[in-house]
Amino acid sequence: MDVKRGNPLAAPFDYFYYGDSKVGRAQADADEIVQYLTKQLAIVDKEKREIREQVLLEYERRAAEAKLDGLEVPKPRCSDCAGLIQDVLESNPAAIVVDGVDEVAESRRHELLMSLVRIRDETLSVIKILLSSRECSNIFAHLSNADRLRVHEDDTQQDMELYVRHRVSTVIANRNLLDVDVPEDLQKDLVSFLVDLAGEMFLWVNLQIERFCELKSKASILDALRHDSKATTAAISQLYSGILGRISRTDPMAYAIATMAFSWLMCMREPLSLEAFLAAVSTSNSDAPLELTMPELLRICSNLIVLDSKLDTLRFAHSSLKEFLEEIGFSKSTTNSVVAMCCLDSCINDLPGDVKTELRPEK
């Protein structure tokens, strides 16, 4: 990517990472991914708004058909985008990277993989494609002739050690861990504990550190280190459960706000701006609208959701949180019902003044 930025004549580099997905979906959308890749390749000059001719002609054709039928311009599907990408790259080599393929719904994952294979095999120029995924036999079955490179825990060990030392030193410097100087031996114990058990899970480190920061004494931290000495990253669900349990016990209102925020993220079909998301959550939990700020919402949710400044919206800190929420009852039907009731309440309570009151249902 650095080479591409420094040399506009370099081969196109097309990428999609799961954080780009329209935030809140339980799973990434196959069409959306290939649309995103097509968009990157279609733009010749962003400042001049110059679009490649092949893509522009296809849009104009679709727009003309839609106007004739009195419909909106339909978005291209996977196969449509694959054809456009082939046209664009007919005489241009390119590299395409897609991260988190396992996050695509299994029922439609084959469409994404078949489109990428088609681009690789049928485009006249050289196309290199890199996909990342957790272990998934379904994906391997579609890519039987692809080269595989497995990232083991040892491959990330050095990065993990640097990250752990940085996080521990940061919370100590900011006085988030205890209110006094933290003894050097305790610092070493914390670093060793986190490095030994983190595996490849950086989020696990963050959640553990946040839990340690809630403890009030050195003795409490040492006791937690001893009791968790057999913990593994598989216990991240227990961390999620513990965080939500603490919120529920100590602040029921905060728990209601957090669960509403999670529900919105689980079922959104389009990304909401930060302002819209705050408004949605603020009007969902009490008779009188709350005046939440973004820092308050992130703190209430214990940073299980994060701010995506690139997309101007919020998303889950990790896909494992969505999987955990689904396991404890945040199903599609449940979250859709919660959000639908919120929308109905807003429509009923915020009707324009010129609407006759007879239309208002009795409460």
Write the pLDDT tens digit of every residue in 195-230. Answer: 888 877 887 888 889 888 888 888 998 888 887 655
Pick from 150, 152, 124, 153: which is nearest to 136 by CA?
Answer: 150
Q: Are 331 and 269 in contact (CB under 8 A)?
A: no
Q: Are 314 and 306 in contact (CB under 8 A)?
A: yes
Q: Other CB atoms closer than 10 Å to residue 235's CB: what's the count?
A: 16
13-62 residue pLDDT tens: 666 655 544 444 445 788 989 998 999 888 888 788 888 888 999 999 99
Highest mean pLDDT out of 18-22, 165-169, 290-294: 165-169
Q: Indicate the average pLDDT of the chain.
A: 82
Q: Other CB atoms closer than 10 Å to residue 308's CB: what's the count?
A: 15
**Mean pLDDT, to the nearest integer, of 228-238?**
62
Exposed / middle / buried, residue 70 (Cβ in 10 Å: 0-12, 13-18, 19+):
exposed
- d(C-alpha 292, C-alpha 88), whole Å: 46
List strands edge to edge, sheet with 94-98.
Answer: 13-16, 94-98, 127-131
* Alpha helix positions (H), the chain: 2-6, 30-42, 53-69, 78-88, 106-122, 137-142, 157-173, 184-198, 202-213, 218-227, 236-250, 252-267, 274-282, 294-300, 319-327, 332-349
**Is pLDDT above 60 for 360?**
no
299-341 residue pLDDT tens: 898 878 888 776 678 888 877 788 889 888 888 888 888 888 8
pLDDT value of position 230: 53
**Is pLDDT above 80 for 349?**
no
Eight-class DSSP state of 353: T
Taking the model in full, what pTM does it have? 0.62
174-187 residue pLDDT tens: 988 887 788 899 99
pLDDT value of position 235: 66
**Is pLDDT above 70 for 234?**
no
**Is pLDDT above 60 for 125?**
yes
In the chain, the amino acid numbered 176 is N
**Is pLDDT above 50 for 79?**
yes
- d(C-alpha 133, C-alpha 338), whole Å: 32
SS3 44: strand
- d(C-alpha 99, C-alpha 121), whole Å: 20
Q: Which fold has domain 2-142?
A: Rossmann fold (3.40.50)
**Is pLDDT above 60 for 99?**
yes
**Is pLDDT above 90 for 170?**
yes
Longest dimension (CA), the chain: 75
**Mean pLDDT, to the nearest integer, of 257-286?**
83
**Is pLDDT above 90 for 113?**
yes
pLDDT value of position 20: 47
Between residues 237 and 356, the one the model is more confident about = 237
| pLDDT band at residue 289 under the 50/70/90 scheme | low
**Is pLDDT above 70 for 286?**
no
pLDDT value of position 327: 86
pLDDT value of position 34: 92
